[in-house]
Amino acid sequence: MAQASETNASASRRRTAFDGGALLLTTVFWGVMVPLTALLLEHFDPWLLAGARYVVALPFLWVFVALARERIPWRELPAGRVAALGAAMALFSVFYTIGIAHSHPVTASVILMCGPIVASIMARFLFRTPLDRTLLLALPVTVAGGIIVAVGAPGRWGGGMGLGGGEFLLVFAQVCWTWYSMRAQQWLAHLGQIRLSTLSSSAAGVWMIGLYLLLWALGVAGGPPASLPFDMAAVLVWISLTGVALSIVLWHFGAATIGVPQAALFLNLQPVVAALTAAALGSPPSWLQILGRFIVMAGVLYVQVTKLRSGAYGR
């Protein structure tokens, strides 16, 4: 009995480490995607780019399904629920892209770092999940560190920090993503995370194509770019592969075991990744950004180490 218990505990720790690594990699992909999306917005209409990322990502996701040799149970598939998950993901993509385009960078960073708060509140009301004490202790630390990273960016305060109109869309985006993440695990976890990710992303792609065509017909959205430089086309493919296809699958693997509120805490590392990306592109960090990085990493590591020691993940 003791040996079996020790074996189970060891397997749980390995699974926790794997899921933590998956979420860290997701954070890297999404953190790098932010400045790359800003580059693409110089060539793309925001409404078109919101959908194009998912449409380009779909072939990669279906390749993942084929490589995993996972068949889709089409006859038993809950089509209504898949459509609802796709709609939530589509709304997230639209709200996020338009919100970023019309928000001050500092204000947007602060709002996006409140994702764990949104996830904790929604978990409480949707599933009556008690608030995690470890998360409650780490959340203020990571949010404060992320704000320091965002505020400490060189020249970030030059134009003031007023509202640009997109901040409310970023809040809605977080609500949509949290609802999608929680309901996806509740409704489709039995299909496996790869099929879950592929089916919901495919539905999202259909919703976003339909929305874009409607807005384009009404004159709200612009048409595709007349020409696209090769490097920008490569950037679009890259963020579609890493920021959408791989990240969604990795996100679900982590969230399935750790839980959405705890997984959302990892996303507060995104300002750290964005600052490192800026440094690699020739913009050295300020001392505030360096301080903020250590604070954010301390908060995330506190949760991860605490859960590993207690074996709380995977129970």
Residue 252 to residue 259: CA distance in whole angstroms? 9
Residues with Cβ within 8 Å of 117's Cβ and at least 6 positions away in sequence, in order, are 139, 143
Give the CA radius of gyration of the chain: 20
DSSP 237-288: HHIIIIIIIIHHHHHHHHHHHH-HHHHHHHGGGHHHHHHHHHHHTT-PPPHH
pLDDT of residue 313: 45
Residue 44 to residue 231: CA distance in whole angstroms? 14
Q: Name the nearest CA neighbour of 254 among 185, 200, 191.
A: 185
Residue 222 to residue 147: CA distance in whole angstroms? 34
Higher pLDDT, 133 or 198: 198
Angle value at C-alpha 299, between 298 and 300, nearest 5 degrees: 95
Of 155-159, 173-177, 193-197, 255-259, least confident by mean pLDDT is: 155-159
Of 23-37, 105-119, 196-210, 233-247, least confident by mean pLDDT is: 105-119
pLDDT of residue 162: 45
> What are the tens digits of pLDDT across the range 205-228?
999 999 999 999 999 888 888 888
Measuring CA to CA, how many Å separate 14 from each of 9, 10, 189, 307, 314? 9, 6, 20, 12, 10
Whole-number percent of the chain with pLDDT over 90: 30
> What are the tens digits of pLDDT across the range 241-286?
999 999 999 999 988 887 887 787 777 776 667 666 666 666 666 6
pLDDT of residue 11: 61
Q: 216-219: long-range contacts at Cβ-Cβ below 8 A with a sequence spacing of 24 or more?
A: 216/47, 216/48
pLDDT of residue 273: 72
pLDDT over threshold 90, residue 106:
no
> What are the tens digits of pLDDT across the range 9-68?
566 667 767 777 888 889 888 878 877 887 888 898 888 988 898 899 999 999 999 999
pLDDT of residue 229: 92
Mean local confidence (pLDDT), 169-192: 90
pLDDT of residue 41: 85
pTM of the model: 0.79
Residues with Cβ within 8 Å of 123's Cβ and at least 6 positions away in sequence, in order, are 129, 182, 259, 260, 261
Whole-number percent of the chain with pLDDT over 70: 67
Residues with Cβ within 8 Å of 1's Cβ and at least 6 positions away in sequence, in order, are none
Residue 194 to residue 113: CA distance in whole angstroms? 27
